Structure 1
């Protein structure tokens, strides 16, 4: 026989107090006499009463939940980020809602209103360019938010980013230092600051070294498939390319796969380098050289600061820019190229 669930009314009746008194006890709001408090506590233990946390959250219009909005759950960068965010959220008594959303969805008022109706306490936003329309919509909801990754725009409003420009310079300089003579860059879609900064870092580094040569930039979409497709296009149009800097690691993995299909030796014939520092770059042969972001630190800082905003422990975040580092691996070490 199924056990009947115990309700707040059952607790009130057994304790000889009103439902309102039990509610005040559960929510720690308002005065309750010591005797009544002890009765309620004992009855709850006797009846094994567990308050409905969701209902309590809705009643208080606070659910201790935060939403992480990302553009592509298939990209291993984001699951690695989730680990850090969830670690911090759990330690502070918050749950995480993971939302995979396209750029167009974020421009829709209904998208944001749905979260207001669910009383989500805050957002960590990593999806594409953070537009003025999105900012105004979130301000209207009066829900705190922090921007990271592709949404980080470098202003002074709740933004945590990495030094994408310097990362691109490090990547490009490394390819030049190992002897690459003709280097191409594959960017993501140029609608976010990180993509544009990585491209600018590449162009500004290449130009002084090869002032008379064409600067080769191609556009991907941060997917493995685009890394394969664009790499094939590069070699079709420029057979003498001997170095490729890809705007993220997932495209670099695609590039490696395509080069192997084309019977090109990496790094002997062509050196490749990615950007992000995801663990998957160490699980292929050769391992891929990358510009490593502090992924876990980004997640920790974003979550900690968001919860501080939610709990009124701080006001707006100032702009935060974290350092990146070059991690040299097999996809560039051992490059031979054309010996002139």
Structure 2
């Protein structure tokens, strides 16, 4: 059986991307690592695929997409934006659904490296250090869509999540609410947890309302957990709720009705993302519009510029968000 590039990487105790760089005489590999890979090639009898190497030199016109959950109401619209721009520039896409699991993300990055993709667009809220390092290692352009890394090392396209959450909570405050609960993403999620919660806190602080940790409950972007989170908030007699996604807002509304209350008569609810759920659900959901299609389209255009080595004005693009007012907050009627 012929040896593969994976066999070489395993023998040399390096990533597939590192083996690929050695084969392509990349200057970023140390002499010691290069020798280890060459020794492993000799030991395993690996014969590099000349066609694959030539494709790497000539470019494959393929972009890898790493998506955390393609069944989410948000990400398919991002992918659509990417695909439309990719088609305009004659790029194909290779989509990988990871469920935001570390092992799947790392495995797919290896696969995309083997497929000799020209670049990778990464979607997902949490970028683990192991995944971040692997993205660095493969030595091709990376663009983050709808997320960002803490050190801003990778180009990215996103909105100002803290300001968006601040605007949502400030709107609830303008309607006369004093006890506003929040259903957040995972607390360790830098965006859906940290940034959006910080926006919630800032709006309360500006209104001179003391932050109460008991009024922020994890929903983890899952309907069932958001439903249970809402039941906990009802025990604390909240008069309004800000949910960090539309799916969690819909689950919260169900919990409110199941508990004998009404929306918007008793409790006002705001979601996040402006996905199809926000206008298909009844009552329709007031929400923050995160422009999913535009995030995808701008991310892919940024990628084409990186690959063509065109001048780029901004590697970190912040797109505008908007508050969309609907039935779940009574179309702006102050709560009596």
Instruction: Find the residue that maps to 1:332 and give its secondary structure.
Output: helix
- Confirm or deny that 1:202 pairs with 2:208: no
Give the conservation status (yes or no) of the 8 Å contact 1:154–1:161. no
Aligned equivalent of 1:244: 241
> How far, CA to CA, are the matches of 2:117 and 2:252 in structure 1?
39
Inter-partner Cα distance in structure 2 for 1:178 and 1:84: 35
Q: Secondary structure at the match of 1:333?
A: helix
Matched, 1:121 2:114: no
Q: Distance in 1 between matches of 2:182 and 2:86?
A: 37
In the other structure, the counterpart of 1:68 is 65
Give a deviation string over 1:68-124, Cα, whole Å, max 9, x none.
Answer: 212122211011111111111111111122211144435875442211111122111
- Give 2:182's aligned residue: 185
2:157 aligned residue: 160
User: Structure 2: which 5+ runs fail to align?
Assistant: 1-49
TM-score (norm 2): 0.77
In structure 1, stretches of 5+ residues that fail to align are: 1-54
**Cα RMSD over matched residues?**
2.5
Is the Cα contact below 8 Å between 1:67 and 1:96 reproduced in 2?
A: yes
1:218 to partner: Cα distance: 1.0
The answer for the alignment partner of 1:223 in structure 2 is 222
* Structure with bigger gyration radius: 1
SS at match of 2:186: coil
Deviations 1:245-273 (A, max 9, x none): 00111111111222222232100101000
Matches within 5 A, 1:319-338: 319-333=316-330, 337=335
Q: Provide the TM-score with structure 1 as the length reference.
A: 0.76
Q: How many correspondences in the alignment?
A: 282
Contact kept in structure 2, 1:272 and 1:332, CA below 8 Å: yes
Which of 250, 258, 265 aligns to 1:268? It is: 265
Tell me which residue corresponds to 1:49. none
Change (3 A) 1:227 1:60: same
Q: Does 1:287 align with 2:296?
A: no
CA pair 173-159 structure 1, distance change in 2 beyond 3 A: same
Aligned partner of 1:232 in structure 2 is 231
**What's the CA shift for 1:204?**
1.4
Assess if the C-alpha contact under 8 Å between 2:66 and 2:123 holds in 1. yes
**Structure 1 position 144 matched with structure 2 position 141:** yes
- Aligned residue for 2:205, secondary structure, equals helix
> Secondary structure of the residue that 1:202 maps to in structure 2?
helix
**Are the structure 2 counterparts of residues 291 and 253 from structure 1 closer, same or farther at C-alpha, using a change threshold of 3 Å?**
same
Paired residues of 1:151 and 1:192 also in contact (CA < 8 A): no
The alignment partner of 1:84 has SS state of helix
Matches of 2:313 and 2:111, distance apart in 1: 24
| SS at structure 1 position matched to 2:270 | strand
